[in-house]
Amino acid sequence: MSYVSELAGKKCLVIGAGVTGQAVDKALKKFGAISYLFDEKTNLESKVINQIPKEIDFAVVSPGWRADHPVILNLKNLGIEIIGEVDFAWKIKEVIAPSQKWVALTGTNGKTTTIKMVESIFKSAKINGAACGNVGQTVIESVMQEPALDYLALELSSFQIHWSDLPKYESVALLNIAEDHIDWHGNFDNYAQAKLKLLKQAKKSFVNKSDKVLSNKVQGGSVIWFSLDTPQPGELGVVENLLIDRAFSPSPSEANEISELVDITPTVPHNIMNALAASALALSLGVKHASIKDGLKNFSTDHHRMQLVLSKDEINWVDDSKATNPHAAIASLLSYFNVIWIAGGLAKGASMGELASRAGSRIKSVILIGQDREIIAQAFAKHSPTTQLVRVDQSSDAKQLMKDVVAQAKKTAKSGDTVLLAPACASMDQFDSYVERGQLFAQAVKELV
């Protein structure tokens, strides 16, 4: 009997009634399982339960749930099998689309941009594939798609990797590792290990040689490195204005041009890294260099990722609301000079010391908002004490807060400055999401500037 046919009549608890949980619930029901959607938030629709029913056969957990959550521990004590959504999707794929190939990508920053680049390359190469996981569709929805996709490019968070052991990827890429989600993982090493776990599940692994944490924690062997340096044989890198592949060339002395730097927008260092990682994943699937070049050329970044909102009176107003941790904010800050930086929100346990010491010299003033703004203030007091700090309090709603912030920035900004929203923090203390935060910033700029 196949895994799919065994599901008929089985009682399954789906933990988490968000987007992932609802997609799993739908798939289980399609295969005849009895599915219970469980969530602690009782204000969800009536089909969601908040008590564990008796006689559950197995559970599928949504990625954000911690392994030490009382509900998870309770199920473990009862001896109930618990799997993550990615593993559930893999088991289904093995039955309904056995020839489908998966590649995967993780990192603290740049994941969505890079996996969307892979999807753009698929389009240019006329490949029947899609990006999924932590972006767009869930993995289970992509597996269930009819007709079946030939390739899936998975963007995976540390939570998803933590809950996953089964997939065998054609290749995986690791972009970078920096402090994030320390509150969830307990400490930085646990977080790093969750990311590195992905390397054990792949035929080929591509790793960013320029990232200090990765170059220290990943020992050579079968790893293929990529960086902004001239590539050694077996690596991918940059020579003058070209992205170069020496990993998939027929002989060690040969090199192939992937694309020109001008094909990549924005042409900033961390985005070149994203393009190298996307190219490596595509090359591992046999995509030709010309299709990769076209895919990179046709790609444009997501909204709220280093998006120029307005350029007026030689002042640039830039929305990088998606920079929700210090590592992402550093990459953004180092792309500009004379920055009026809008920062703050929920720090998620990350420290701001490295940001203040590395980017402090670029910043004219910091406009601080949100719950953990004093963590940023303390880091600047220590590492960049001459930087001006201005605190803006929330007087009414989020819209008014962002208007007050933009009004403050307008007072300070002079010709040649960049006003940059790259908060280094999550948004949920004052906004619905980083998307709303970015939209309200853009709105306020258009109204007031």
Binding site for ATP, by residue number, is 107-113
Peptide bond into 98 cis (omega under 30): no
- In the sheet that holds 48-49, the strands lie side by side as 48-49, 34-38, 11-15, 58-61, 81-84
Burial of 219: CB neighbours in 10 Å, binned 0-12, 13-18, 19+: exposed
**Are the C-beta atoms of residues 332 and 413 closer than 8 Å to each other?**
no
Residue 53: which of 91, 12, 84 has the closest Cα?
Answer: 12
**Are the C-beta atoms of residues 11 and 53 closer than 8 Å to each other?**
yes
3-state class (DSSP) for residue 120: helix
* CA 301, 302, 306, 309 torsion-angle sign: positive
DSSP H helices in 234-346: 269-284, 289-297, 326-333
Which residue do the tokens 């260099």 mark? 289
- In order of 65, 366, 390, the CA distances from 386 in angstroms are 42, 11, 13
- Structure letter (DSSP) for residue 345: S
Please name every residue paired with 81 in a beta bridge, in sequence order, or none if there are none: 58
Structure tokens at 420: 């940059």
Spell out the residues 6+ positions from residue 439 whose beta carbon is closer than 8 angstroms to its own: 304
- Structure letter (DSSP) for residue 353: H
Question: What is the DSSP secondary-structure string of 169-182?
Answer: EEEEEE----S--H
Q: Write out the binding residues.
A: 107-113
Residue 417: which of 314, 266, 333 has the closest Cα?
Answer: 314
* Rg of the chain taking only CA atoms, in angstroms: 23
DSSP H helices in 307-433: 326-333, 353-359, 373-383, 398-412
CA atoms within a 13 Å half-sphere pointing along the CA-CB vector of 112: 13
Q: Could you give the CA distance from residue 110 to residue 272 in angstroms, rounded to a whole number?
A: 11
- Structure letter (DSSP) for residue 9: T
- Strand spans (E) along 16-80: 34-38, 48-49, 58-61
**Are the C-beta atoms of residues 52 and 38 closer than 8 Å to each other?**
yes
